[in-house]
Amino acid sequence: MTAKLLDGKAFAKGVSAEITKSVASLKQQGITPGLAVVLVGEDAASEVYVRNKGLQTKACGMNSFEHKLPAQTSEADLLALIGRLNADASVHGILVQLPLPSHLNADLVINTIDPAKDVDGFHISNVGLLGTGQRALVPCTPLGCLMLLRDHLGSLAGLNAVVVGRSNIVGKPLAQLLLNDSCTVTIAHSRTRDLPSICRGADILIAAVGRPELITADYIKPGATVIDVGINRVPAGDGKTRLVGDVDFASVSKVAGAITPVPGGVGPMTIACLLANTLTACCHAHNLSESALSSAS
Ligand code: GUN
Separation of alpha carbons 90 and 32, rounded Å: 8
Separation of alpha carbons 16 and 284, rounded Å: 19
Going from the Cα of 98 to the center of ligand 1, the distance in angstroms, rounded, reads 5
How many residues does the structure list for the chain? 297
Return the ∠ at Cα 267 (arms to 264 and 271), rounded to 5°: 125
**Protein fold of 140-266:** Rossmann fold (3.40.50)
Q: Is 77 a catalytic residue?
A: no
Q: Is 97 a catalytic residue?
A: yes
Ligand 1 atom nearest to 274, measured from its CA: 6
The full set of domain ranges for the chain reads 30-116, 140-266
* 98 in contact with ligand 1, CB cutoff 6 A: yes
* 140 in contact with ligand 1, CB cutoff 6 A: yes
Separation of alpha carbons 280 and 295, rounded Å: 15
* 96 in contact with ligand 1, CB cutoff 6 A: yes
Ligand 1 atom nearest to 96, measured from its CA: 9
Q: Is 38 helix (H, G, I), strand (E, B) or coil?
A: strand
Ligand 1 atom nearest to 95, measured from its CA: 9
Q: Is the dihedral of CA 84, 281, 112, 208 positive or negative?
A: negative
Tell which phi-psi region holds residue 117, choosing left (phi > 0), alpha (psi between -120 and 50) or beta: alpha
The domains spanning 30-116 and 140-266 adopt the same CATH topology: yes
Q: Looking at ligand 1, which residue's alpha carbon is closest to its atom 8?
A: 97
Residue 130's Cα: distance from chain center in Å? 15
Ligand 1 atom nearest to 120, measured from its CA: 7
* 81 in contact with ligand 1, CB cutoff 6 A: no
- pLDDT tens, N- to C-terminus, the chain (297 residues): 699 999 999 999 999 999 999 999 999 999 999 999 999 999 999 999 999 999 999 999 999 999 999 999 999 999 999 999 999 999 999 999 999 999 999 999 999 999 999 999 999 999 999 999 999 999 999 999 999 999 999 999 999 999 999 999 999 999 999 999 999 999 999 999 999 999 999 999 999 999 999 999 999 999 999 999 999 999 998 899 999 999 999 999 999 999 999 999 999 999 999 999 999 999 999 999 988 776 544
Beta pairing class for 258-259 and 4-5: parallel
Predicted structure pTM score: 0.97
- How much is the pLDDT for 295? 57
In angstroms, the Cα distances linking 25 to 17, 44, 96, 119, 290 are: 13, 36, 28, 21, 11
Residues whose CB falls within 8 Å of the CB of residue 44, separated by 6 or more in sequence, listed in order: none
Residue 276's Cα: distance from chain center in Å? 11
* 120 in contact with ligand 1, CB cutoff 6 A: yes
Q: H helices of the chain, where? A: 8-28, 44-59, 75-87, 106-112, 124-131, 140-153, 171-180, 195-199, 249-252, 266-285, 290-296
Q: Of 56, 117, 118, 120, which one is the catalytic site residue?
A: 120
Probe residue for ligand 1, chosen from 37, 95, 123, 169 as the CB with the greatest number of ligand atoms within 8 Å: 169
DSSP 194: S
Beta pairing class for 232-235 and 241-244: antiparallel
> What does the radius of gyration of the chain's CA atoms come to, in whole angstroms?
19
Residues whose CB falls within 8 Å of the CB of residue 92, separated by 6 or more in sequence, listed in order: 33, 34, 35, 117, 278, 281, 282, 285
- How much is the pLDDT for 297? 42
Q: What CATH class has 30-116? A: alpha beta
Burial 18-51 (b: 16+ CB within 10 A, else e): bbbbbbebbeeeebebbbbbbbbbebeebeebbe
Backbone angles phi, psi at 75, to 5 degrees: -60, -40
